[in-house]
Structure 1
Amino acid sequence: MSAAPRSPRSLRGQVALITGAGRGIGRLLAVGLAAEGMAVGLIGRDRRRLDDTARVCARHGAGTAVSVADVRSVKEVREAAQAVFAALGPVDLLVNNAGLADRGETPFWETDPEHWWEVFETNVRGTVNACQAIMPEMIRRRSGRIVNVNSALAVKGDLRYSAYSGSKASLLALTSVLGTSLTERGVHLFDISPGMVRTDMTLGMAVCAGREDWTDPAPFVAAVVRVARGELDPLAGRFLHTGRDDLDQLLAGAERLRAADARTLRMRAHGQSDWIV
């Protein structure tokens, strides 16, 4: 007689903090997590959009906390994190979703430097600021999960999106540095790409002009829910693409992934005598 399947772990009583929660993927995630019983802290730059997201989340009975902040500001992010902590309690899941893509789709040497850095700093500095605001408490409790919303452009680069591609690759590099140490401290870090989901940002990207085969965001939301439940912990530190990956298949091969150091950003050695081996 086969064993009965396990019931999914309840997320009630847990707290999620989502950056860039006013629209697009951030809004979808906030509503999806609220529907699963999580309280949600919402950070973004547009108060009206954040309040609207909060109202939808509240329909699921979720506790909400809204903080207006530019993720590039250490001070604003820390104040926002403190406000969420005061309203909802310690954060169990941090989702670094706030991000920008290159405007104009020009080669690197023709880009506007100010805009290039705005994209890079939003995607990298914003993620670092949020992690440094939340991670110490997770480590103290030896419990927490962090999702960086990443992209296939981190590994497949596009000359038209040098800031976006470079910034997302930087997040993979950061995960390769922090992943194991965080896991040893009870915190699991993930880089997950949702694919080309139809949002305001992707609609403005030249690479998406005329696109009709948009990626369904539902698998991404479902994956983040599974992260929150702890179901994907064996895949922490690995790059996941919910638009293409079979997560159950990857879970079944998690030991092989670790043994091969697969789905991580690394420099490949030039033979056995290379110093980086």
Structure 2
Amino acid sequence: MTGGGSGIGRAVALELLTQGWSVVLAGRHRARLEETARLAGEAAGRALVAPTDVTRPEEVHALFAAASVRFGALGLLFNNAGLFGGGGVPVEELAYETWREVVEVNLNGAFLCAQAAFRHFKEQRPQGGRIINNGSVSAHAPRPHSIAYTATKHAMTGLTKSLSLDGRPYRIACGQIDIGNAATEMTDRMRTGILQADGAVRPEPVMDVADVARTVRHMAELPLDANVQFATVMASGMPYIGRG
């Protein structure tokens, strides 16, 4: 579970922990990960806090090694860590450093974690496992001034398809959940007003992040013979269908 210290990652971690899963909480901020574990109550004993920068290959390697030592065979990677960085900045003003940071976390980090999971799933016995990538409705339709985030989420879709295809001989299933307007810190601004494609600024509805968590758990608990390839979960009234 990457990005397990807040938002969607925290909600999914708590859902899985309370339903009997053992969960490795990965993220850059130990204090936030430890808070997620505390929120799990009696289930906290099945959580492993593992501070990790997913953009660093050596840290990703150490993460999966620690998970294997603690829990043995691995069953699921939820590739969730991500940044929205650069939102609201016109493309001609976006700093290259910001672009690079978003690509490093959202795409390179997702690849490194998927690669490590793939290796473990192939080598363990019985062979196999599942990867769920956190995409976005931005993988289909962008918001204004979101080029870095949108480009990485489109790339995430390609990553999902390639992993799904390459994993078939090894019982490795890979799917993607595209989420729109879940109520987290990242979406707070949507309730007060956010730029629309027509130039207006309007508030948007949000949904309970617990609904996302339950959807991820459903995807995770399918047998490896079945896979939700792509799922879209969003606030029913958000301007996505017909955006623009």
TM, length-normalised to structure 2: 0.85
Is the aligned partner of 1:53 residue 2:44? no
Deviations 1:215-267 (A, max 9, x none): 2223321121112211696444x32102279xxxxxxxxxxxxxxxxxxxxxx
1:89 deviates by 2.0
1:62 deviates by 4.7
Q: 1:73 maps to which residue? A: 56
Counterpart code for 1:226 = H
Is the aligned partner of 1:44 residue 2:35? no
CA distance in structure 2 between the partners assigned to 1:113 and 1:27 by the alignment: 30
Inter-CA distance 199–232: structure 2 relative to 1 (3 Å threshold): farther
Structure of higher RCO (CA pairs closer than 8 Å, 6+ residues apart): 2
1:58 deviates by 4.6
- What is the aligned residue count? 227
Identity of aligned residues (%): 32
Residue ranges of structure 1 left out of the alignment (5+ in a row)? 1-17, 246-277
CA distance in structure 2 between the partners assigned to 1:183 and 1:207 by the alignment: 41
Is the aligned partner of 1:181 residue 2:172? no
Q: 1:135 maps to which residue? A: 118
Contact 2:174–2:227 (CA<8 Å) still a contact in 1?
A: no
Contact 1:227–1:233 (CA<8 Å) still a contact in 2?
A: no
Q: 1:242 aligns with which of 210, 215, 233?
A: 233
State how 1:1-277 maps to structure 2 within 5 Å: 18-60=1-43, 62-140=45-123, 141-203=126-188, 206-207=194-195, 211=203, 213-230=205-222, 234-236=226-228, 238-243=229-234
CA distance in structure 2 between the partners assigned to 1:133 and 1:176 by the alignment: 17
Contact 1:21–1:53 (CA<8 Å) still a contact in 2?
A: yes
Residue ranges of structure 2 left out of the alignment (5+ in a row)? 237-244
Q: Secondary structure at the match of 1:59?
A: helix
Q: Secondary structure at the match of 1:192?
A: strand
Q: RMSD of the alignment, in Å?
A: 2.2
Q: Which has the larger radius of gyration?
A: 1
CA distance in structure 2 between the partners assigned to 1:135 and 1:153 by the alignment: 26
CA distance in structure 1 between the partners assigned to 2:72 and 2:203 by the alignment: 42
Contact 1:32–1:221 (CA<8 Å) still a contact in 2?
A: yes
